Structure 1
């Protein structure tokens, strides 16, 4: 009897320890820094902000950036990553590519990222990577792979990882599926050029969750929103479980970031967070 009781207690202790130590993907939000206090009160710990608002040398003066640095130091949430990397006027493909200008711009961004201790950049940039009408798509892919490798090498010097984001065909005409983004990441073949899986864009393109299962070695970031109007999880009730299950199958433990359109952030932020937490816990 004592041996049986000891065995049961041991199993319970192991199970409890495993449950407590099981690391789930943490949830963050892509939002304006000015909403930091609201988001912190709602339970968010991680924030993603756009480079154009916070860091870009094309839109943020040195004086403004210094003010941003001080603001970031006082945040209640943690600035985890930045997005909206390459501005639309800096073409990444087509006949007007200025490689020198792209690399010069990227290096300035990397230097500023170092100053605010951000080491992840989500690379969407639908305008910059849009293929001009009549331009060969295969040639555009070659151009993008070439410049991405050079930008990644600069990023490595600053210990920054770039995460290529799949967009959807209403926003750009190039790299509109996760499968295509994965193909590009593999061809660039650089340790600082990885992959972002945006579940909203996957849903818009009706891309199956099974594609995620091919991304294990490359996936470092994940964005999420509901399909129809980019509403926060739980608004309409889109079923994310197949996608979350695919993330679990590849043992994804990175962040999942809500990148949504909000009608009332103050009212919606916490319910969206709690809804997604429950979805993740149910799957993981």
Structure 2
């Protein structure tokens, strides 16, 4: 009898683990933008991958010794530093009339070569200041020139086995490429396997974009970010419902990374709560048979 109880217990434990693995394979993997200094807290909350910043981790402005120290921290971390954001600082223009292409490409080479060394797989191209253009500048010319530049960024990224993902940004942050639709047009124009789209749901909500735009851009989406609409808080703080956007992601069969990028007031409370809150919505949408 005792052996039967142990066998049943073992069976149900195995079933639980199997169901968890199955769910993970069927749903996006959650990550969060966080400093490596919070690695243990983030890992304990359930996250296994994080976003750090290019400036802190990979920038060519860092000395070789500083970069080596970063590599040690990355290697020792419980969470994998999968991606870095804020690709270009505001003083390196990537759109508009003042682009120094040689400077841009040299900087990108430095960042992307270090990304490869660090095992960073994604570089998020938001860079609101770097891509803002003069108010009276020809937007069509800006887009055309930006496509040409991004083709070259894609080539460098390909050489270093990194994926650059272009982020849609709300109009309060930049005046160039404020919608998912406009960012998707750039990515399609670039047409390079190492240059894809980051669908930022927070910025979509701020610009009033509906979930159907995710479906329309589904062929080029390779990364997704999210935060709550009102104050860019972590999921669960205000209780935002992301299910319509998650449903759109399910419709395009997106099972990649979904990163939380928001402001935090009480990390020890909000980070674990965000993991549980967003995981629940993801599972409700993705594991439904509808």
TM-score (norm 2): 0.90
For the residue of structure 2 that corresponds to 1:111, the secondary structure is helix
For the residue of structure 2 that corresponds to 1:162, the secondary structure is strand
**Of the candidates 165, 168, 172, which is equivalent to residue 167 of structure 2?**
165
Q: Tell me if the contact between 1:92 and 1:143 (Cα under 8 Å) persists in the aligned partners.
A: no
Partner of 1:8: none
Mapping 1:77-116, distance limit 5 Å: 77-116=79-118
In structure 2, C-alpha distance between the alignment counterparts of 1:80 and 1:134, rounded to whole Å:
38
For the residue of structure 1 that corresponds to 2:26, the secondary structure is coil
Q: Which runs of 4+ in 1 moved over 4 A?
A: 16-19
Partner of 2:224: 222
Partner of 1:27: 30
Q: What is the deviation of 1:188? A: 0.9
**Of the candidates 56, 60, 63, which is equivalent to residue 57 of structure 1?**
60
Unaligned 5+ segments in structure 1 are 1-12
Partner of 1:201: 203
Q: What is the deviation of 1:173? A: 0.3
Please, what is the CA RMSD of the aligned residues? 1.6
For the residue of structure 1 that corresponds to 2:196, the secondary structure is strand
In structure 1, C-alpha distance between the alignment counterparts of 2:41 and 2:241, rounded to whole Å:
27
Q: What is the deviation of 1:191? A: 1.0
Q: What is the deviation of 1:20? A: 2.9
Q: What is the deviation of 1:63? A: 1.4
1:48 maps onto 2:48 in alignment: no
Q: What is the deviation of 1:133? A: 2.7
**Of the candidates 130, 136, 145, which is equivalent to residue 132 of structure 2?**
130
Partner of 2:12: none
Q: What is the deviation of 1:164? A: 0.5
Q: Relative to structure 1, is the Cα distance of residues 143 and 17 closer, same or farther in structure 2, using a 3 angstrom cutoff?
A: same
Per-residue CA deviation, residues 159-206 of structure 1 (Å, 9 max, x unaligned), is 111110000000000000000011110111111110000000001001
Per-residue CA deviation, residues 34-81 of structure 1 (Å, 9 max, x unaligned), is 1101111111111110101111113x2221111000010000011111
TM-score (norm 1): 0.91
Q: Tell me if the contact between 1:72 and 1:79 (Cα under 8 Å) persists in the aligned partners.
A: yes
Q: Tell me if the contact between 1:48 and 1:81 (Cα under 8 Å) persists in the aligned partners.
A: yes
In structure 1, C-alpha distance between the alignment counterparts of 2:33 and 2:64, rounded to whole Å:
24
For the residue of structure 2 that corresponds to 1:171, the secondary structure is coil
**Of the candidates 237, 241, 246, which is equivalent to residue 235 of structure 1?**
237
Q: Tell me if the contact between 1:225 and 1:260 (Cα under 8 Å) persists in the aligned partners.
A: yes
